[in-house]
Amino acid sequence: MNYDYEYFCKSAEYVKSIIKDTPDAAIILGSCLGDFADRIENPVVIEYKDIPNFLTSTVQSHAGKLIFGTIAGKKVLCMSGRFHHYEGYAFEQLTAPIRLFKLLGARVSVITNAAGGVNTSYKPGDVMVISDHIKLTGASPLCGKNIDEFGPRFFDVTDMYTKELREIALECAHGSSLTVHEGVYMYFTGPQFETPAEIRAARILGADAVGMSTVTEALTAAHCSMPLLGLSVITNMAAGVTSEKISHEEVGEVTGTISKQFGDYVEKIISRI
């Protein structure tokens, strides 16, 4: 498949024909965090499967819908459900969401995920504002022929998780019932959870949380110079941190208990950006 500029433009042209307006912010909702989409006022819903050259989510807890509307007085475009390498997608395909956001004119992207806690001071139900990430596995989503219309062949990622947006997120934590940290996210391809040995290595390398998403989207945002905020909900302690086994059901249980507080928190952030 030739993933050229025109390939991604076809997705954007279809979405533009339906939503008309330019979003102030674009949001990607991670595992079991889809309830936030219910907050969108006057929603316009587009099924992923109807968007030309877009991808479809195969994870049961991901709705697979693009929703446009208003939150906190801001026009937002929300992806309820995301895509992962473990679903069988090539890394190059995983550029699709952020490139769609860019072509639609979104000013910033907000990416959320469910993550395992590596930092032993964290606990399930906490939130981590991502300051940086570690990726030591797999190719880059920007491999292959560079698309100059999106960005340069070689690009800087020093401020990939935009400092200004991180500061806003940390300020918005004041008064929240959530415990909010700032830390480093480490990417693993999945779909298996990480081994205890991998988690010990992650901690030595400086990771505070681990997960199977976000990094491909963050790299794509950096390539096209899109400001980015990443938020991890700590849904469990990673393998070996406790004696408990890890399950996807546990992820859903924890996100369910803090769904309202997390939604309030994200909505407050959206109002500020």
Please give the pLDDT value at position 208: 98
Please give the pLDDT value at position 237: 86
Please give the pLDDT value at position 32: 58
Peptide bond into 191 cis (omega under 30): yes
Contact 150, 99 (CB under 8 A): yes
CA 212 to chain CA centroid, Å, is 10
Q: What is the DSSP string of 227-269?
A: -EEEEEEEEEEPBTTBSPPP-HHHHHHHHHHTHHHHHHHHHHH
Contact 127, 231 (CB under 8 A): yes
DSSP state of 179: -
Helices (H), the chain: 5-19, 96-104, 163-172, 196-205, 215-223, 248-257, 259-272
CA distance 118 to 129: 14
Please give the pLDDT value at position 203: 97
Contact 194, 238 (CB under 8 A): yes
Measured N-to-C along each axis, helices 215-223 and 96-104 cross at an angle, to the nearest 10 degrees, of 40
Q: What is the mean pLDDT of each run of 10 residues along the chain (273 residues)?
A: 92 96 95 81 96 82 83 95 90 96 98 96 96 93 96 97 98 96 97 95 98 97 98 90 77 82 95 94
Catalytic residues: 31, 62, 84, 86-87, 114, 212-213, 236, 248
Please give the pLDDT value at position 234: 95
Please give the pLDDT value at position 130: 98
Q: Give just the sign of the alpha carbon dihedral 125, 126, 130, 132.
A: negative
CA distance 73 to 56: 29
Please give the pLDDT value at position 60: 58
What are the residues whose beta carbons fall under 8 Å from the beta carbon of 147, sequence distance 6 or more? Answer: 3, 4, 5, 8
Q: What is the pTM of this model?
A: 0.94
CA distance 237 to 122: 8
